Amino acid sequence: MRFTSLFVLASLAVSSFASTVADVQADIADISSKTTALDNSINAFANPGGTLTQALTIHNNAVALGSSLDHGTTDANAVAPLPISEADGRSILTNLEALEPTIDDALDGIIARKDAFVALPLGGIPALVKQDLTNLNASTSAFEAALIVNAPADLVAEATALKSRIDAKFASAIAAYAAF
């Protein structure tokens, strides 16, 4: 009796939390559009001379991207059925690789604007930027790790190399804000 009810609960849990490759692809599309929005808001911040309002737009876009990444991690960890097909794995990795230039541009833009953030009339913006970078690094790293765990074996090396490059880029951006 007890066994039966646990089994029913477990089945319900699986059916409510399982996700599909299509869900993960939709998450990547959402993450792509939020990464572009973040990058655009960073590039819109004049260097020097950006405004506090523009800095807060960057912050809001970073928070929105973080929550999309976390949602993607939940789906990637629950994807079924496994294993993912070779074609799906290839497509997911290609879509992730397409994000890399935008991530690089955003992080380069953040590094380049440090003095302009320091110059804002309200203090604490560089510390907020550092916090956002730290959170985005953790969320990005977790998403990549979840995708690598379920990647077809022959794509793991390529996916891990992508993760290493993105992790290193985040590390250099966070290092640029180490003083805050």
Ligand X SMILES: *[C@@H]1O[C@H](CO)[C@@H](O)[C@H](O)[C@H]1NC(C)=O
Rounded to the nearest 5 degrees, what angle is found at the Cα of 65, between the Cα atoms of 78 and 95?
Answer: 65
Cβ closer to ligand X: 57 or 130?
130
Q: Choose which of 37, 38, 103, 174 interacts with ligand X (CB under 6 A).
A: 174
Output the smallest distance, CB 67 to ligand X, in A.
16
Q: Choose which of 20, 36, 102, 141 interacts with ligand X (CB under 6 A).
A: 141
Stretch that binds ligand X, among 33-41, 89-97, 122-130, 131-139 (CB under 6 A): 131-139
80 three-state secondary structure: coil
- Please state, in angstroms and rounded to a whole number, the distance separating the CA atoms of residues 137 and 175: 12
- Please state, in angstroms and rounded to a whole number, the distance separating the CA atoms of residues 33 and 120: 28
Cβ closer to ligand X: 33 or 172?
172
144 in Cβ contact with 159 (< 8 Å): yes
Cβ closer to ligand X: 91 or 131?
131
Rounded to the nearest 5 degrees, what angle is found at the Cα of 144, between the Cα atoms of 178 and 163?
Answer: 60
Output the smallest distance, CB 99 to ligand X, in A.
17
Q: Is 137 in the site for ligand X (CB under 6 A)?
A: yes
Cβ closer to ligand X: 21 or 174?
174
* Cα atoms in the 13 Å half-sphere on the side-chain side of 67: 5
Cβ closer to ligand X: 120 or 142?
142
- Please state, in angstroms and rounded to a whole number, the distance separating the CA atoms of residues 43 and 29: 21
Binding site for ligand X (CB under 6 A): 134, 137-138, 141, 170-171, 174
